[in-house]
Structure 1
Amino acid sequence: MTNDAGASASTSVRVLIVEDEWVVAIDVRDCLEALGFSVVAIAASGEEAIIKARELRPDIVFMDIRLEGEMDGIQAAQQIWNELQIPIIYATGYSDKATVDRAIATEPFGYVLKPIKESDLYAAITLALQQQARAIQFREDRKWMATILKAIGDGVIVTDTQSQVKYLNLVAESLTGWQLQEALNRPLSQVLPLCDEQTQVPIENPVTQVLQTDEIAYLVNPVLLTRKDGSQILVADSAAPIRDDEGVVTGAVMVFRDVTNRQSLQEQSFSILRAQLLEQEMQELQRLAQLKDAFLRTVSHELRSPLANIKMVIHLLEINLNRQRLSPSESEVDSQSQQIEQYLTILREECDQELNLVNDLLDLQRLEAEETPIELTSIEVGEWIAQITEVYQERAQERQQRLDVFLPSTLPILVSDILMLTRVLRELLTNACKYTPPGEVITVSAESVGERLRLVIRNSGVEIPEEELPRIFDKFYRIPGSDRWTQGGTGLGLALVKKQITYLGGSIHVESSANEVRFAIELPFTSGV
């Protein structure tokens, strides 16, 4: 069943069906055509699917994973995507973990289980087309920005907060004598050494001033640039900070030009033009960042409802499985029931993980948009910490860890959002248990520092490399090879922790030394939120 609106919206969408069971393929074709989609062809093998995809260039490929022949659906889908960038939606009656893992590795746009329902098929194709449209727009925007930077008549250099080079355009390569790949991650002072024209004394690069003041900086007078080959040219330049969505400076962009043969009046005109161009570039970079956030927000909302439905269906299947196990007539299928239960466990865990990811993304978006309500409560700090840490004592013992809690006899009442703070403390304790080796100690302590509560969670036996510390609160960032218990994660936990603490008017920072990691939180006892 379908409706006229849905059919009208999908008439221009061309679908290639890849299915080696002809009856199933015809059924899917009829279903797609009833929904208003156009089926351009049916392929019975992976090899045939690749040929037809090249020839017909469909908008969507509906791919059965299990295909007869030397190439299965996953291999065919990978080649089609790599070569033609056509979105793939998988269809299969199998949902074992190995198959799912192989399918996920190819980054499909959808996944439909057999027997196929019309509503599931329509939802999968619609979502895939939306994702593809946003991805194409994002790639075009990036390509457009790269083209602008290459076409600018001035040299452009981008650095991170450590003044290490991250990008040079073609003009910058020509002026400095450095190629992008040679200059990448080198100190800016090495790629762009500047000195006074008269004294030849090295001078401070404007980027250094920008990173210290967070403001645009200009060179008052032209200076000498020593190129890679040792020759010198007279340059004038300016630099501006690069900010993320939260206004935090993440680097700097420097624009400069050769003024060896130019007059002073021309320099002033170009300075104004360069500043305007720099401002336009910054606005465009911010627009691209907003596009990224809008994409994540839309996808998160689109995924949450089907994931919740999947979780409910898993629960119903488990109830039916338990009823069958209690029935004497079903005793001979115990081994089969155990296998089904194992598949359900895998499906439930994967569903929970994806649902947690979607919820974390939505929570981050609400916090960034300042749309999260705060429920202020009077909190007995000692009692609150004791209740939470008691839950983690058993987990620590199972992993041969020790969890110690040090609290003063009295602490002032804390007025804050208890649910948000509980989520923060659980995330930090979960991480501590995850990364602490057996035989080591996890410590939770609290104290009053003036009018603020200081809460410290530390764990021994592990140390975060110094170069990783600045990125520890970044979205999706995880320290490589650090998950001792191989529990996995989304890389959003600590990003969400920092957002929540900041949202409550507090601060959090991390330190690591002497084989120990320490997270320190400070919160006002009386919330001013």
Structure 2
Amino acid sequence: MIPERTAPTTIQIMVVEDESVIAADIKDCLENLGYGVLAVVASGEEAVATATSLLPDLVLMDIRLKGVMDGIQAAAKIWQRLHIPVVYSTGHSDRGTMERAKATGPFGYVLKPVEEQEMYVAIETALQRFRLDQALQKREQWLSSILRSIGDGIIVVDADCRVRFLNLIAEALTGWKQDDALNKTITDVFHIIHEETQTSAHNVVSEALQSGTLVYPAGDFILVSQSAENTPIMTSIAPFLDDNNVITGAVIVFRDDTERRQAEERNIAIARSLQLESQMAELQSLNQQKDDFLNTVSHELRTPLTNIKMAIRMLELTLDQRDSSAVVSDADSNPTIRYLKILSDQCDRQTSLINDLLDLQRLNANAYTIDLSTVHLQRFLPEIVENFQARAKAQQQALQINVAPDLPSVMTDATGLSRIITELVNNAIKYTPADERITVTVQLLEQTPPSTTPIVQFQIANSGVEIPPTALPLIFDQFYRVPSADRWRQGGTGLGLTLIKKLVNHLGGSIHVTSKQGQTCFTVELPVDLSRSSVTAD
């Protein structure tokens, strides 16, 4: 016997039976078992309508019903619309009927004539299964909600690498909607390539399934979406097992790596910037130490050189007192005079080098003093050039000067201008071959708006020599000398042009060089009136 009142009294059942006698018998049986009978109906149509209205906890459905809709059709509609569990009661158990009934997903069967014990077991089993299904469904919905709300992209595949789930982030990154992606192979939906080689990385998921372990693929990857958009990603693949430790699928977790990479690049850039700042500070410190050293050494060397120069002069005077003809004698016939001349020339050379270093340090430190004065170029320039005529003639060079007759006087630093012209003419003579021409040209440039500052242009050009294109960008660098260019072997330190460029800039002007078609030309442009130049104010 069935234990008395074991079923809860709150369970309400709707009976669908077209035989009134059987319906009454079933109703009595249910009530004896402690269930409530919410309604008894005789047709499929009425069953659907009543279930929709009353919402019973369970429907006991006869398969064979009179009318257009039989019990199987009615049960299918009730489940689809209302999600109410159905238990079939029938005296027909042939294979065809059972197959149709199974397709509707019933929760149980009771064969007629109905026995109370069978009825109780069938109903309780159906209700328990329904509760478990409901709990499982809620849990699946809960898990699905969690997965869909996670900030990373998640794709679940089965053991055959076919897609079973995509969350919202995965949809956004891949461009696939879950309904469209279901049952697609993972390579169709999750198309990733190696960033460096641009080759496909379709095998990472299958390799993870084969290994059975969590995999973090090495390297940088690009996800190619359905619309062909590229997104850098980080990814991992975790296979999952069933109760028998058989791999049944994998979970692919991935995220957009753009922000991390940008942050990493920013951090690298900041680190490099800090490193460069540190190196710059160190270089500035070293440069200052170098300047201080050169300044100190230059001053320290200047004193003994002055003494040496004085000693040479005293020797010359001594020789002059002994033999008035000695100082004018031929140096080749008098070794003493020749040695004194060598000493004097080398002393002058070292003094010039030290002066260059000191002037360069003053210019670098903005400590060079500008002494403005009016310079009449028609007299000033020929005087400078005249000092080189003898040397040019000795080297079979033609030295010519062209000064525009209407050239105005300029207000500038006469010493600095003389230094500039002297250095450039000296270089031209040093590097020009025999039988070639050196030309010094000076003219006033016409200014076009918006420039209103009058400019005077100096050009020192020499023929027969070209500076290699690779050397042109370096020509004004400190200590740089064009290789194999000193045809007269007069030597130099590589400081001259560096000093000239800084001096020109200090006087508010500019200097540049061109060298082509067998001619080299240095062009210097200076303001006519330096007192009105913005450089003076600065």
Q: Normalising by structure 2, report the TM-score.
A: 0.47
Q: Normalising by structure 1, report the TM-score.
A: 0.48
Of structures 1 and 2, the larger Rg is shown by: 2
